[in-house]
């Protein structure tokens, strides 16, 4: 099952949040004390993997309301979450029927329950401070925002609770010492439940280390033990045991070195595990310092990432099975470039587990997948707010949004530093669609991308010139600009040709209208996409009870104009950012796009790549 969205209420500093959509990776950005940890904690307590995690009314319930509401607090829910089944969930659903009056006797007669078979695509799960759950079946996506269509499931509730993913929470990783005394390790692992929190963190990291080595500390200790009696037979047996231990540790060292290189790009490190009597040691060398140095004498960033890597790689097939990973401020001690490596590591983790993490670092915000990012901020009343809207105008939210703006600025810088090729587009929806197209073409090996394409939204045609000026100097090559073919786009194209791009090849200024499969005027980015899937996304977003939106392929109006006309006719208010929401819905599913449309995408991307080095 996959988490689609969640909502937190009545929890610590959160009175009630918005519905927050989730993807394979979801990033919660906010400054310190904004309440990011509270969001993760509420999710954790929906279904914790750790049996020691309990709902604590005194510490979890909003403090400012506790005295007044403590008697009714157990009846309050603190989280709602909607999950999508991997396959349709079939259920014989009973609907109790009202009794009827017998016309002859005048008495009420109870009617049998109405039994219907439903196939649910989604399920909504609520959890209460009492520990109880409520579960509602949702037939399909169009019903998600219509609670009147929800069907409460009672008899099969426990089965569904077992099916939903558990939540695994990590806030800290204890850095390992380079020299570990095996008897102490054996003792700590044997009395794990009685350890302090700090000692538990270290013991957890030690456990996964030895799981990775595929030996128990007890076995390593026993293989190295020596007898006081030294007959030839005993000496030979002890020598063979030590040789076996050395081979096993060398094999584990080589495996660690090989796998670690895939994720940590800040150096070419070689690990060596060794054991001497009752001591287990970790050594590290690299191409700059080829001598073995104790792990604890390497950088704190390397130590942190080593522990982090061990926990995730080792536990991935165990504790992380059918789990959603919650990371609180991961990698905050790492160098910025190392944080970028960590973000790459997240992509690998998300192939098997959904990942939700908090940060206030711009280096852990992915500007190429900005829709993953949610804003967490404290209002003037001190209460935590969570939002999908990255353009919040409220002053209290600006510090939380700052890392997102910084991440976009860093990407602009990266295009100059690492040779990526920037493509200027008008808005975020352009970025979402074009990123989707790029991934699809890459997946199908339709084009060879020798240079990374970075789609940079500038929030309208008015910002194109200043952004171009930022990312290029006097001697630098001007970037390609893709413009809508509406009035504003056409006028901007003429203006750029006369001024900034007057000496440039005409292929630097591209128009959407040249890559259409329909004959529409004033075309926008949506018109190069498959209109059938745009229509599907619109109807899922609007949930109009009057009628469904239909695209008129005989009209010369763009699909955006047709949507706006439809909204006006049906008294639907188009909120700011509605095109981004449609774009997110379009790319949220694997689509079998029309071949003619894909051919036009290839032509467009060939233009992007035409002068790539």
**What per-residue confidence (pLDDT) applies to 509?**
92
Q: How confident is the model at residue 555 (pLDDT cuts 50, 70, 90)?
A: confident
CB atoms within 10 A of CB 112: 8
Q: Which stretches within 132-176 are classed as H helix? A: 157-163
- CB within 8 A of 207, min separation 6: which ones? 189
CB atoms within 10 A of CB 49: 19
Report the DSSP pairing between strands 108-109 and 355-359.
Answer: unpaired
pTM of the model: 0.63
The number of residues in the chain equals 613
Structure tokens given for 258: 């090989």
Asked whether the predicted pLDDT for residue 567 surpasses 80, the reply is yes
Q: Is 362 helix (H, G, I), strand (E, B) or coil?
A: helix
pLDDT, one tens digit per residue, over 344-381 is 778 777 888 899 999 887 778 876 676 788 888 888 88
DSSP string, 505-527: -GGGEEEGGGG-SS--SS--GGG
Q: How confident is the model at residue 172 (pLDDT cuts 50, 70, 90)?
A: low
Alpha-carbon span 179 to 254, nearest angstrom: 19
Phi–psi pair at 200, nearest 5 degrees: -65, -40
Report the DSSP pairing between strands 323-327 and 166-170.
Answer: parallel
Could you give the C-alpha distances from 530 to 62, 107, 278, 547, in angstroms and in order? 47, 61, 66, 21
Please check whether residue 91 is in contact with residue 118, taking contact to mean a CB–CB distance below 8 angstroms: yes
**What per-residue confidence (pLDDT) applies to 474?**
43
Report the DSSP pairing between strands 269-276 and 279-286.
Answer: antiparallel
Q: How confident is the model at residue 146 (pLDDT cuts 50, 70, 90)?
A: confident
pLDDT, one tens digit per residue, over 440-485 is 888 888 777 777 788 888 878 887 876 776 566 544 678 899 999 9
How would you classify residue 138: left for phi > 0, otherwise alpha for psi between -120 and 50, otherwise beta?
beta
pLDDT, one tens digit per residue, over 410-423 is 555 555 445 578 88
Which residue carries 């509401």 as its tokens? 69
**What per-residue confidence (pLDDT) applies to 216?**
80
Please check whether residue 559 is in contact with residue 531, taking contact to mean a CB–CB distance below 8 angstroms: yes
């Amino acid at each position: 099952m996959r988490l689609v969205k969640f909502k937190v209420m009545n929890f610590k500093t959160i009175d009630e949040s918005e519905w927050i959509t989730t993807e394979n990776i979801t990033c919660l950005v906010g400054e310190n004390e904004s309440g990011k940890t509270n969001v993760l904690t509420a999710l954790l307590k929906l279904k914790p993997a750790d049996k020691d995690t309990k709902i604590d009314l005194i510490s979890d319930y909003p403090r400012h309301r506790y005295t007044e509401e403590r008697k009714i607090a157990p009846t309050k829910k603190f989280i709602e979450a909607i999950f999508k089944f991997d396959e349709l969930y079939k259920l014989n659903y009973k609907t109790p029927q009202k009794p009827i009056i017998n016309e002859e006797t005048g008495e009420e007669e109870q009617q049998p329950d109405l039994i219907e078979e439903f196939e649910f695509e989604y399920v909504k799960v609520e959890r209460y401070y009492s520990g109880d759950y409520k579960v509602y079946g949702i037939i399909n996506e169009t019903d998600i925002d219509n609670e009147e269509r929800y069907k409460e499931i009672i008899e099969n509730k426990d089965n569904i609770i077992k099916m939903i993913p558990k939540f695994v929470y990590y806030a800290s990783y204890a850095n390992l010492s380079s020299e570990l005394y095996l008897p102490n390790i054996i003792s700590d692992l044997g009395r794990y439940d009685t350890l302090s929190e700090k000692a538990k963190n270290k013991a957890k990291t030690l456990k996964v280390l030895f799981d990775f080595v595929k030996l128990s500390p007890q076995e390593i200790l026993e293989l190295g033990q020596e007898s006081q009696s030294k007959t030839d037979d005993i000496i030979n047996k002890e020598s063979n045991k030590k040789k076996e231990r050395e081979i096993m540790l060398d094999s584990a060292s080589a495996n660690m070195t090989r796998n670690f290189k895939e994720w940590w790009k800040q150096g070419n490190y070689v690990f060596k595990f060794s054991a001497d009597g009752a001591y287990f040691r970790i050594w590290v060398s690299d191409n700059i310092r080829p001598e073995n140095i104790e792990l604890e004498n390497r950088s704190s960033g390397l130590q942190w990432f080593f522990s982090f890597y061990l926990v995730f790689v080792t536990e991935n097939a165990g504790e992380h099975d059918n789990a959603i990973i919650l990371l609180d401020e991961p990698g905050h001690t790492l160098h910025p470039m190392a944080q970028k490596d960590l973000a790459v590591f997240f992509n690998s983790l998300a192939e098997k587990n959904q990942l939700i993490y908090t940060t206030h670092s711009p280096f852990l915000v992915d500007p190429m997948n900005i829709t993953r990012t949610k804003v967490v901020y404290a209002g003037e009343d001190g209460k935590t707010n969570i939002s999908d809207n990255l353009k919040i105008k409220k002053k209290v939210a600006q510090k939380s949004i700052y890392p997102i703006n910084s991440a976009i600025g860093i990407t602009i810088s990266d295009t100059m530093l690492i040779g990526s090729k920037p493509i200027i587009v008008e808005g975020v929806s352009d970025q979402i669609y074009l990123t989707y197209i790029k991934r699809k073409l890459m997946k199908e090996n339709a084009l060879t991308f020798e240079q990374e394409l970075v789609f940079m939204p500038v929030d309208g045609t008015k910002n194109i010139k200043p952004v171009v000026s930022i990312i290029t100097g006097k001697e630098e090559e001007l970037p390609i600009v893709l413009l809508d073919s509406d009035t504003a786009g056409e006028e901007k194209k003429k203006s750029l040709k006369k001024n900034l791009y007057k000496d440039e090849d005409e292929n630097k200024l591209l128009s959407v209208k040249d890559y259409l499969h329909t004959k529409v005027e004033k075309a926008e980015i949506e018109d190069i996409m498959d209109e059938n899937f745009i229509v599907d996304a619109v109807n899922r977003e609007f949930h109009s009870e009057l009628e469904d939106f239909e695209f008129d392929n005989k009209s010369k109006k763009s699909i955006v104009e047709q949507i706006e006309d439809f909204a006006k006719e049906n008294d639907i208010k188009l909120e700011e950012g509605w095109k981004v929401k449609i774009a997110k819905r379009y790319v949220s599913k694997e689509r079998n796009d029309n071949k003619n449309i894909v051919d036009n995408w290839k032509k467009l991307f060939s233009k992007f790549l035409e002068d790539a080095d």
